[in-house]
Amino acid sequence: MNVSADLHIHSKYSAATSGMMDLDTIAAEARRKGIHLVGTGDALHPQWLENLRRLPERDGILWHNDLTGFVVTAEVEDSEGVHHLILIPDLSKAGELREIFRKSSSNIDTDGRPRILLSGAEIADLCLEADCIIGPSHAFTPWTGIFAHHRSLKECYGDRADDILFIELGLSADSDYADRISELRERTFLSNSDGHSPWSNKLGREFNQFDIRDISFQELRLAIERRSGRKPLLNVGFYPEEGKYNRTACTRCYRQYTMKEMDELLGRCGCGGSIKLGVRDRVEILADLPQPVHPDHRPPYIHIIPLAEIIAMALGHKSVFTAGVRKIWSDLVSERTEIEVLLLAEISELNTDERVARAIEAFRSGDVVVTPGGGGRYGRISLPPPRAPSSKEPSQRSLLDF
């Protein structure tokens, strides 16, 4: 079966998250999005853990009304500031892990994403001993990603590096970026939302599709390990340039710089702000391959943005929450999930504003203009001006071909 999964979100108990990040709202919005399996996030937090225990558990998956599956997950920060995503086999293991980490954390009872005063290698060792799956969160993010602090998995995870099965790419990177680093060749790439809000422009804004036999923790593990015929089928997410740390830029005025200019200015912008090295340039430093080399097991990476953002762009609205955008979005997802609208439905079958239909088709074909972000400001995506079709132009491959 083809399962869409967003394995990294946060609850209302994490800093800077919506108060609506509760189980009922997350489950309802995941269903409308078309996400079958969503990470619980924050499973080490005592109040969230109590909420999770109210859901029935089967084969390591918590079920909300037998419709939305939750896999038990947590994100932690190590002593060097690196974030790690932990996939946990069941709630009992989450309780055990919480008690183990309590000895090394001062905020595990107050923050859904706790700081653990242990190295990445020590955290990995404890998680793997508890039969969890662990890997770096948003690996290329310049503040808290593994590659902001380390040059390799080995440098972070030590002797446990070979047991790191996945890399979470994050919003500012995709498979083309990561597959320029040969060390990552055998790892499975995950694309998750890191959602802090349940609404459709955040939850599931990046997701994965897996080929598994049923929804269980063991099947998810097999898919990440790519064993017994289980495997990832798609990574779906942003254009890397849309990420807010894609380019090297000032964190105050957002002016973008080359690496050479950053070095010459000693990392200080003319406005007085700090210049932050962007993901694209960090990859250039780390890469040992001039171009991405995708292994045979790597699935396609599809660039898309949330449907509400596409609608707002097509209509010329600045917000995804205007009445016009919400009306068209609600009509489109009344009979299909958002993922079906974005990836699968025939454009001719979408009974919607012609501008919106053209915009969805433009994203499917990659016919969009991306202005890169950096320094903490997201990039911008726009649609090119309409052009007359030419019989000489090669046809784009449809997402339906995957």
Place of tokens 């080929």: 211
Closest CA to 310 of 291, 289, 290, 333: 333
Looking at residue 388, its pLDDT comes to: 57
**Model pTM score:** 0.94
Place of tokens 């394995």: 7
Residue 258 CA, chain-centre distance (Å), reads 26
Per-residue pLDDT of the chain (402 residues; tens, 9 = 90+): 999 999 999 999 999 999 999 999 999 999 999 999 999 999 999 999 999 999 999 999 999 999 999 999 999 999 999 999 999 999 999 999 999 999 999 999 999 999 999 999 999 999 999 999 999 999 999 999 999 999 999 999 999 999 999 999 999 999 999 999 999 999 999 999 999 999 999 999 999 999 999 999 999 999 999 999 999 999 999 999 999 999 999 999 999 999 999 999 999 999 999 999 999 999 999 999 999 999 999 999 999 999 999 999 999 999 999 999 999 999 999 999 999 999 999 999 999 999 999 999 999 999 999 999 999 999 999 998 876 555 444 434 344 443
C-alpha–C-alpha distance, residues 115 and 125, integer Å: 16
**Do 47 and 98 form a contact (C-beta atoms < 8 A)?**
no
Looking at residue 385, its pLDDT comes to: 80
Bridge-based pairing state of the strands 2-6 and 207-211: antiparallel
Looking at residue 389, its pLDDT comes to: 54
Helix H, strand E, coil C: the string for 236-287 is: EECCHHHCCCCECEECCCCCECCHHHHHHCCCECCCCCEEECCHHHHHHHHC
C-alpha–C-alpha distance, residues 378 and 205, integer Å: 14
- Which amino acid does the sequence have at 56? P
What are the start-end ranges of the H helices in 234-386? 259-264, 279-286, 307-315, 323-332, 338-339, 354-365
The phi and psi torsions of 43 (rounded to 5 degrees) equal -75, -5
For 37, 160, 187, the CA distances from 92, given in Å and listed in that order, are 19, 24, 28
Bridge-based pairing state of the strands 369-371 and 231-237: unpaired
- Which amino acid does the sequence have at 205? R
**Do 200 and 191 form a contact (C-beta atoms < 8 A)?**
no
- Supply the DSSP symbol for 343: I
